[in-house]
Amino acid sequence: MIELQGLTKVYGGKTVVDDVSLTVGQGEFCVLIGPSGCGKSTTLKMVNRLVPLTSGRIVLDGEDVTTLPAEQLRRRIGYAIQSIGLFPHWTVAENIAVVPKLLKWPKARIADRVEELLALFQLDAAEFRDKYPHQLSGGQAQRVGVARALAADPSVMLMDEPFGALDPITRDVLQAELARVHRETGKTIIFVTHDMDEALKLATRIAILNEGRLVQYDRPIELMFEPADDFVRDFLGKADLGLKLLTRRWVHQYVAPAPWADRKASMGELRDIVASHGHVWLVDGEGRPEGLFGARLWRADGDPLGELSRVHPDWMATPDMSMKEALSRMVWRRILALPVVDEQGRLSGEVTMAGVMGRQSEGQAA
């Protein structure tokens, strides 16, 4: 657990962080966000004493960080930044192993940890272990940078806009990777960004700062439904707040039973199901969706391709997919439903546009 108690930083008579107090619980993903110059990066850097405090306290697992030797503190806290900072003349394995070597881990343990982290970030060890930074793409290098920060198994990770310089596609992939790593490791993460969509996608709690002061610290859902003031409301973005809300809603919250039939079913059987449900998903012998039968769900513009069409992979949803992504797939494909599939690709239910609208009309959900 990390506690910031009255944290203040003054530069040349200007207060850049002003009496900030908040608690980041064990295993939480806390995002610091706000306009440029609001003090978010300075706050982050005070946690591992890269920037000295003017006043206040930072308590890490019950210990005041100012009582710990700086090197010892930084070895307990992983740190990843936008520019990555990989050592150019060291291999990927050597870069990841930096802190474990400083801690004098046995060579076998270091080698095992490098392999483990490469696997965690879906980098094949045989392919990437001996590569140099200049041989990596931006996304691969950023993964190595985060892996390096995790190498000594710190309880806390600090991340300062680590994906800010990446292209949108790579950024989306790495956001998903980081969310998965957070779920699998349970690390406590403090993450700085200027991107509200990124914050809503990743955070369990969001701290919004303005002019050095903490304006609101809350779960993403509470921020959207109960903004503290007009600044928070405007910073969230009122124009697309409904879509932002769907970033924090998941397919498993909206899934409903799906009408289905074996692909070998007769036309009469299919029409009977369509008469009751408006459509039917056709599944193969393993229960995987292959087609959709029933014109009612086709093309919102009223121009069906026919009563029967094969299911495109982009039509499918998974239980842990955000409803924003599911809705985007419906709009892009101009269909009003998606089959929900399990890890084996078998049909487990469906989400529909009508279901999304029905849930949204109910107001706030847990």
Give the global pTM.
0.75
Residues in the chain: 366
Q: How confident is the model at residue 176 (pLDDT cuts 50, 70, 90)?
A: confident
pLDDT above 70 for 342: yes
Q: How confident is the model at residue 214 (pLDDT cuts 50, 70, 90)?
A: very high
Asked if 240 contacts 232 with a C-beta cutoff of 8 angstroms, the reply is no
Q: Which domains does the chain have, with CATH numbers?
A: 2-239 (3.40.50.300), 251-357 (3.10.580.10)
- Look at residue 298 in the predicted model and tell me its pLDDT: 43
Q: Which of 244, 250, 119, 97 is nearest to 181 (CA)?
A: 119
- Alpha-carbon distance 18 to 40, whole Å? 11
- Look at residue 26 in the predicted model and tell me its pLDDT: 93
C-alpha 238, offset from chain centre: 22
| Mean pLDDT, range 310-320, rounded to an integer | 83
Looking at every residue in the chain, the average pLDDT score rounds to 86
Q: How confident is the model at residue 38 (pLDDT cuts 50, 70, 90)?
A: very high
pLDDT above 70 for 306: no
Could you give the 3-state DSSP secondary structure of residue 133? Answer: helix
Residues 6+ apart with CB under 8 A from 134: 88
Positive/negative CA dihedral, 83, 84, 85, 86: negative
Residue reference for tokens 């998941």: 250
Q: Which of 69, 80, 257, 218 is nearest to 157 (CA)?
A: 80
Helix and strand element counts for the chain (H, E): 16, 16
Within a 13 Å sphere around the CA of 249, how many CA atoms are in the beta-carbon half?
A: 24
CA dihedral 183, 185, 190, 192 (to 10 degrees): -60
Phi, psi angles (nearest 5°) of residue 232:
-65, -45
Q: Which of 107, 103, 26 is nearest to 72 (CA)?
A: 103
Structure tokens at 142: 């950023």
Phi-psi region of 306 (alpha: psi -120 to 50; beta: other; left: phi over 0): left
Q: Among 70-84, 191-205, 337-351, where is mean pLDDT lowest? A: 70-84
Tell which wins on pLDDT, 244 or 26.
Answer: 26
Q: Which of 231, 158, 225 is nearest to 188 (CA)?
A: 158
- Look at residue 331 in the predicted model and tell me its pLDDT: 84
Q: How many CB atoms lie within 10 A of CB 299?
A: 13
Phi-psi region of 312 (alpha: psi -120 to 50; beta: other; left: phi over 0): beta
